[in-house]
Every structure is written in C-alpha cells, then in structure tokens.
Amino acid sequence: MYTGITVGAITTIGNKHVQRGTPCEDASYAVTKNGVSVVCIADGAGGKQYTDARFGSDCAVHVITDTICEHFDALYSENREAAVRGYLMAKLRVAFAGIMEERTIDVIDRLSCTLLFVAVKDRRMMIGHIGDGLIVRISPSGVSPISMPQNDKDGKTYFVTAAHADNYMRFLKTTVDDVHAIALMTDGVQDSVYNEEAGLVKPVVAKMAETFTAGREEGEKSVLETVQKFIVGSSNASDDASFGVMLFEGTKAPDPNTLESSAEKFESSSETFKDLSQAIKPELLNAHEIIKKCAGEESEQAPETAAKEAPEVKEPEAAAAVTEPKQPSRVSKLSIIMLGIGLALFIIGLIELVLAFKG
C-alpha cells in the first residue's frame, strides 16, 4: 500500500502555435481535495472552426476535477458506467453553455477538446478518456498503456462536445494495487513517446514520472524542461503539450534497465468491425424470432419483411445518463386472457356488492 500521493501536471505551447501567433489550447490541472487526488488534462481542438477551444479545455479540466473531488463515492459506486459517462458529459455541457452565453459563442463545437483524467481515493481508482492522447500505467514490472489514442480510420479524433460524446468516452474503475504511477499526456507528447503500431511506451515516460519522487515542484520543473527541450523544441511544427503524473509514494518503481525500448509491429487482419456487424444481422433476426416463439407470441411480420427492416448493428447512438425502462411493444395473448378474467371477476364482485346493499 502506498504511503502518500504526489500529483502534478504541466502544459506548454507548441512551436506551431508560437509561429502562427495563436494561444496554447492545451490545459492541465492536478489537485488533492476531500481525500481525492485527480490529474486531468485536455487538448483543445485545432482548426479555424474551433475558435474558442482553449476556453473549452480549461473549463473541462476544472469542471471534471471539481466534480470528481466532490462526488467520487457516488460516481465510483454506480454500476451503470454509461450513466456515469453521461453525467460527466452533462456537467461539461452545462458549463460550456455558460461560456457560450458569457462570450457570445454561437456553436458549442467552438469549445471542442479531448479529455483524460485519473482519480484516486484510498485504493479506488477511476480513469476516463475521450479523444487522442495516452494514459500509461507504471508498475514494478514495466510501463504499459491503459487507454490508447482514440482516432478513426481517417485520423480524426473525438471531442467532449460531440452529440454522443458519452458513447465514445472510455471509463474504467479499478484499484491502485501494484501501481507505482499513472502518467497522462496529450498528443503533443504522445507522438514522441508512444509507438502505436506496436503498443509500446518508451522508457522515458517512467523516468519523467520518477522525477516526482522529489516532490511536485521539482517534478513539474523537470518534466517541463524535458518536454520543452526534447519534444516541443525538436520541431518547428510541434503541437501544444501537456503531461500529468500521479505518483504513489512508497511503491516500487520499475528497473530502468529492464524496460523495453523497441517492439515488433502488431499483426492485423483485413477484417473490420463493419464486417462483424453485417455477419451478425441474420443471426440476430433469427434469435429475435426464437425469443418471440418461446414467449408464445406470433411473429408480427413475415421474415422477409423483418429482414429488410432489421436495424444495422453499429456503434450505439446517444446513451442518456439515466434511461427509463422500455415498455413492451405489444401485449401477449396470455396477458390479454388474464386481463379479461380479472375484469370479469371485478364485474361479478361489483354486482354482488350492489345486490348486498339493496338487500
């Protein structure tokens, strides 16, 4: 068990933004409050349409951090992870609405940003991630990704302002057992220290996290110098960069000499998730008919018609924070019979009651 927690985070502007004369769009925040330690970073979306992304990223890290510090127990104990994701995205949407009103912003997408966080209370840990960037676990046995960059086939990522952002948000509940540190980074750092094709995190990440054993101030100073010199300073086109650390004091660090610095590229087939979705459609239709048959219900439509109208299996649309249970689409024959019997008994009882009063 750890003896204490040190948190810290840094953000620095990239050379690309310096040359263009545009502000830094990354944001980071690390705090321990109410017995809860949180490290949160965000990367404001780049592009002409995202005019106020820096306000979105700054708002996101503070709102999410404060929310988790205030409501950690309720969020961790909720079994419906979709509800937790929905709640966190709802908190951001409420906060973003306030910014839009204050700054007269016409479209919420102008505040778009990614989001990465880790939160710990006692031994309980929550991790959340939407968009690109990387969250890393550092343990005595080595360094490995917990949540990898989230990009589509065209390289585009997802933002907290998306209509169905809660569907894309990864949310993990676990414990801190056998964890020495957690490191979070936006893509401005990720691109230099992570080989996505092999799933390999370079040893330098563990070294950067280890600087926090000297305390938050020394750790942030050392990491900022490293990022500015070797990552941001290595290219005139470098992006904004953020790096956050949560170090568990009194735990064992990995041996630097045993950390792998290279790995083979992952093997991959040509199969896609779309292929899987198409393949399951006829099986799903057949299963639907079997379920209705076992329930003693007749098919509402011919199999040919049902096949044409069967929805394509795809990524779920908006998942509300709290959903009401769906009502049955039709009443079974057995239910109708039972309802008729109940109604008849009620009428007979009513007649007997009237006769009794007359008597």
Strand stretches in the chain, DSSP E = 4-12, 26-33, 36-43, 115-121, 124-130, 134-139, 142-147, 170-175, 181-185, 194-195, 200-201, 241-249
Q: Which two tokens stand for residue 22?
A: 């545009």
Digit-coded pLDDT (tens) for 129-165:
999 999 999 999 999 999 999 987 788 999 999 999 9
Digit-coded pLDDT (tens) for 44-79:
999 999 999 999 999 999 999 999 999 999 999 999
Q: Does pLDDT of 267 surpass 70?
A: yes
Q: How confident is the model at residue 337 (pLDDT cuts 50, 70, 90)?
A: low
Check if the beta carbon of residue 115 is closer than 8 Å to that of residue 122: no
Q: pTM surpassing 0.75?
A: yes
Digit-coded pLDDT (tens) for 72-93:
999 999 999 999 999 999 999 9
- What domains are there in the chain, each with its CATH number? 4-258 (3.60.40.10), 269-317 (no CATH)
Compute how many other C-beta atoms are within 10 angstroms of the C-beta atom of residue 126: 20
Residue, of 321 and 130, whose pLDDT is higher: 130
pLDDT value, residue 355: 52
Check if the beta carbon of residue 130 is closer than 8 Å to that of residue 168: yes
Mean pLDDT of the chain: 88
Q: Using CA atoms, how far apart are residues 244 and 209, in angstroms rounded to an integer?
A: 8
Residues found in the chain: 359
Q: Which two tokens stand for residue 134?
A: 């990387």
Q: Does pLDDT of 175 surpass 90?
A: yes
Least confident segment among 32-46, 55-69, 174-188, 287-301: 287-301
Strands lying side by side in the sheet with 26-33: 26-33, 36-43, 115-121, 124-130, 170-175
Digit-coded pLDDT (tens) for 178-193:
999 999 999 999 999 9
* Burial bucket for residue 356 (CB in 10 Å: 0-12, 13-18, 19+): exposed
Phi, psi for 154 (deg, rounded to 5): -95, 5
pLDDT value, residue 346: 64
